[in-house]
Structure formats: structure tokens, C-alpha cells
Structure 1
């Protein structure tokens, strides 16, 4: 077993997989996942809403905006309707680069994240905190002179310093041309979306699992989108982006275009 894989402490990628109904987790992940759910009973709904948001955003960008390149940072463990599956169903020549730094994700991704013959699907073992490395590696698959959709779903919440998180986004978006897109989600404490439940849940998580996590306000989330043009319906609960009939979850979502 890879010596980076810890089975004695819960890890976000595996707990998230548990909440999504997957099978790639250890008993400690299930235990912590259940404890977090006791603090935040709708956390499973958050995970499912985040995944559904990914599908809607990738569908819209592929089918309506003509995007054929995706940089998916913080991939997590493969599950149903991964980015390449959604994009390549619409445009088989789409190219996708997945990025994660969890060794169990790496093992599964190399086995499962395979795409169409017409397109390309690659995996980069890198940390979201090193956008320069991500971009250098992605350039082997993606043409960074042409529009790219940069996906950062549920990842900036693991970058505890807000200025650092903003700098990561700026570095990534500065490296892609006009017509590129940012797709982003982030948990919140804001009561308008029921975020109060995140307070105790995240305190428990940070004491019992890895990596540490934080939530942010709508204004802080909006700062990641500075200089970009928001697509309708703007900044909303990720559950309600392009799905206005859905119930809110305590996770913001937005898609924005680089002018």
C-alpha cells in the first residue's frame, strides 16, 4: 500500500465518496462521515448537489459555450458522471485534465478515468496550492492559448487563508485566455442557506479528520470571481444553479466567463 495512504484517519475524498453512496472508503471514513452528518444532517444532500451542479455546468459549457478543454482541480474519487463523461458525451473530442494529490484518488483515477479515442483524459498528481505546477503539467494535454473551463469544486475551502485562495484562482485564470470559464463551489456559514450547521460540523471535522476545512461568506466567495462575468443565475446555492426548483444547500456555486 502507498505509504501516503492513511487508513487510521478520515480523509475528505473518501468521506465525500461515502456521502455520495460510493464504496471507496475505510471504516474511519464512515464513522467520521456519520458523526458529521449528526451535526449537519443535510451534508449528504450537499455532496449530491455539488455533483449535480458539476454535471449541469459542464453540460452548459460544452453544449452552449463550445468549451472543449476542462481543468478539473480536486477531482476526488471517480463516481458517476465524471467531468470527461459529461463533456465527451456531447463532444467526444473534449480534453480533460484531472488534478488531485490524494494517493488513493490517483490509483483509482488512473484505472477509471479513461475517455473517448477522439479526446484525451489525463491525471496530474498535484496540490491545488501549487497552481504553477498544475498549469505546467496541464499544458501537456490542454492548449492554454485556447479557452479552458477551470473547475474548482469544494476545494478552496481546504485553503484556510483567504488571500492564498484568491491568489490560486488569479494564477489559474491569468494563465487562460479570454473566453475561458471558472466553475466554483464553496461551503458557507451564511444562515440564508442553512450554513449554521457547518459551524459544529467543521469544528468536529478539523479535530478528527484531514485536511482542515473552512467555510466562507457570500462576499468572500464573490471575491474569487473578481474580474469575471457571471453567468445567470449568478451566485446561488449550487443546488439551485440552473435548477431553480431545487432546495437550497449550504454551498455556493457559480460559473463565470473571463472577458
Structure 2
């Protein structure tokens, strides 16, 4: 199969589940539809052949977008353990990337939404949602704020995804919000060490849909990670992954 043939096959399979008969011809529209259909699909068994085609499609798509080796990124001058990198976290080859999840821990069900939860699940494939479902079935309740759960990365370059639920800020930022965010970073680093990860890439937890002020979030992230790394000797490299120019500026000022 070519990539276009794989794309059509994948869209047809999910469209049948949703009762959608009309499939667009344009490749860009087809790709957007595939992501949307993956986003809205509830956790459920899926045909093994479909998954095999999905895995090959996503693997080749990742290669086309370009994999970024986290070990090759330059450290900041002030600390050889820390890296600041602006880009798409789903391109990073590291031991673990951090996903800013919601309390359901199943990913974002809004079609083609711009949140990092949606981006990570879309790039990893449907296996990630199923793995999260199994975790949530074992937990038996919504995931609390400030903890961390680990899954495989599936079709991501990263070996693992560490899922954490950050605090939601509505109104004034409080000390409770700040401590909850610090707990997220501590929990993720503890999960990374327990999973044998030498490298981990943090997104800007809670600063998007959860409205944590970016400058305060960056300060908490840097201070917490620096403090915790002395207790986590097996974690050798932490990448602060940013996407927006303002976040890059905040981290640049903090890291030197």
C-alpha cells in the first residue's frame, strides 16, 4: 500500500463504525477526517489488520515529519541536565514525554482539537486510548490532580508517555494551584525513574486549556525539576518542550 491507500483504508474502517458513507477525495481532507474519527472513537476492540495499517501509516508519517533526537539537543549553559526546545513534542525521541491529560485520562474527544492531549493520542494511535482505558478500569475513579500514570508510546518516537492531570485555574492563582502543579512535576519524575527512563520531555503542564499563567508555571517547573533531579540520579536529561513564543521566553529567562 501507498500512504494514500493506507489513509483511505483507515478512514473507511472508522467511517463505517460511525455510519459515514461519504468519504472525501482530497488527501488533506482525508487526513483531517482520520484524526477526527480517531479522536471521537470510544475505547473498544478494533480489528488487528486495521491496527497494523494504522501503525505503518503513523510510523511513516512520523519519519516524514522528522524525528528529533532528544539526546542530541544542546543543554542550557547553566545546567547540562536541562534542555529547552521549541517544537512538536510528538517528534521527540526520548524515553518519555509528558502528556497534560484530563481526569478521564482517555485523551481528548473533540475532533482535531489543538490541545497537547489530542496531539499525543493522534500521533500514538488508538492503542494509547485502549491502554489508558485499562489503567482507568483498574483505578476505578477519575485520575487525581498531581499524580502520574505511564503507558507505552506506541507509534510515537518516545518509548513511554507519562500522563498527569494538572490544576485548572479559574480566577486568581493560589498557593494551592502552585503546589498542585509542583506535584505533577515531582510525580512525573518519580514515574520516569521507576520506569527506567534516562530522558523525559515535559510539556507546559496546565498552561493551555487549564489556564495556568505561563510565567508562573515555567518558574514552578524549573524550580521543581532542579530540586528533584538530585533525588532522581537515573534521570539524566530533562527537556522543557515549549510551543508558544511567550513560553520559550519565560523558560529562557529562567534557565539563562
Same fold by TM-score greater than 0.5: no
User: TM-score with structure 2 length normalisation?
Assistant: 0.34
Larger Rg: 1 or 2?
2
